[in-house]
Amino acid sequence: MIWSQTTQMKRILIFSTLLMLFQASASENQETQISRKAYLDQWRQTAIVQQREYHIPASITMAQAILESGSGNSELARKANNHFGIKCHDWKGASIYMDDDAKGECFRVYESVEESFKDHSIFLTTKNRYAFLFQLPTNDYHAWAKGLKEAGYATNPQYSDLLINMIDELKLFEMDESSVTEMKPQSISTSISSSMFSPHNVSLHANKVRFVVARKGDTYVRIAKEFDMGLWQLYRYNDSDPKKDYLLEGDIVYLQPKRKRSHVHETYTVSSAITLNNIAQKEAVNVKSLLKLNKDISSEFQVLKSGSKVTLH
């Protein structure tokens, strides 16, 4: 009987110890959960910086980050610093496999949360299916939210409503900067930085396409590396020969696809000898689209005479 009581006491002691350890672990996990307010306070400025550099509404970036990462508490956010649920498409960096729409899907892994925010911006600005979003005002978060859903960013049919409701609830729209510096096609600055190794200043063309101005000694390779883009993307976005790498000081280099039409000018009047390719770069319009609009021009490299008119829209 004494032996039985001793055994029972040991069992109770072991159970109590395990219970205490479980409660401590649960308490620790509860303490490490990030509140939505804390998350917002921590990454608010990062979202605003992304708007200034990539012209994506800060409210949209912040709402997506909160929704996709569970305010930084999701397994993907904790293990991979991936706060936007971006998968491994065209990704050459570290990766992690998790269940999502299907089992064992590949997701990108980042060294820091800041890198995740930046890659989210690059992802949106370099994918053709999101190009139309950059024709929208940065203070129209309703249109951006609906556009993201239409472009297939997420499979949830309520995705746009979730974003809009969150922005309204948290007043994230107060983060958006309504004014965006735009460069007029006929007066694009070609001022060059004293140091060609400093980061390029990204500007937004009036036709809603992001670009940088080449400096002396610049190459497509250097710019592609700076913005973590494929060299093929720069060639494609700038209607350039893939064999070309050199750039002239003052050349416009687009960082996303040019538009199929000009939303600024109906026509372009040639004032001095110029090619259609040059006009395409000035007006941020795809040269193939210009050829379709101007059946009388046989080649993008045809030299156009002064007084000629080129249809842009």
Output the domain CATH number for residue 96: 1.10.530.10
| Nearest partner of 189 among 168, 199, 203, 207, judged by Cα | 203
Contact call for residues 276 and 299 (beta carbons, < 8 A): yes
| Calpha distance 216→197 (Å, rounded) | 10
The two structure tokens encoding residue 179:
């004014």
Percent of the chain with pLDDT over 90: 46
139 and 233 assigned to the same domain: no
Over residues 267-296, mean pLDDT: 91
185 and 282 assigned to the same domain: no
49 in any annotated domain: yes
26 in any annotated domain: no
54 in any annotated domain: yes
196 and 294 assigned to the same domain: no
Examine the fold and report which residue of 210, 235, 257 is the final residue of a domain before the chain moves on: 257
1 in any annotated domain: no
| Calpha distance 60→124 (Å, rounded) | 12
56 and 122 assigned to the same domain: yes
228 and 273 assigned to the same domain: no
266 and 192 assigned to the same domain: no
Total domains in the chain come to 3
72 and 141 assigned to the same domain: yes
Output the domain CATH number for residue 309: 3.10.350.10
Number of residues that this document lists for the chain? 313
49 and 141 assigned to the same domain: yes
pLDDT, position 134: 78
71 and 134 assigned to the same domain: yes
* Sheet strands (E) in 47-109: 95-98, 105-108
Higher pLDDT, 129 or 288: 288
108 in any annotated domain: yes
95 and 170 assigned to the same domain: yes
105 in any annotated domain: yes
Contact call for residues 142 and 133 (beta carbons, < 8 A): no
Per-residue pLDDT tens for 57-72?
A: 999 999 999 999 999 9
Please tell me whether residue 131 adopts helix, strand or coil conformation.
Answer: helix
pLDDT, position 221: 87
Domain boundaries, position 99: 37-175
3 in any annotated domain: no
pLDDT, position 137: 79
| Cβ within 8 Å of residue 46, ≥6 positions away | 113, 114, 117
pLDDT, position 217: 81
Examine the fold and report which residue of 151, 175, 199 is the final residue of a domain before the chain moves on: 175
266 and 185 assigned to the same domain: no
48 in any annotated domain: yes
Higher pLDDT, 249 or 115: 115
196 and 293 assigned to the same domain: no
Examine the fold and report which residue of 115, 142, 175 is the final residue of a domain before the chain moves on: 175
Over residues 203-219, mean pLDDT: 90
Q: Write down the mean pLDDT value for the chain.
A: 83
Higher pLDDT, 35 or 186: 35
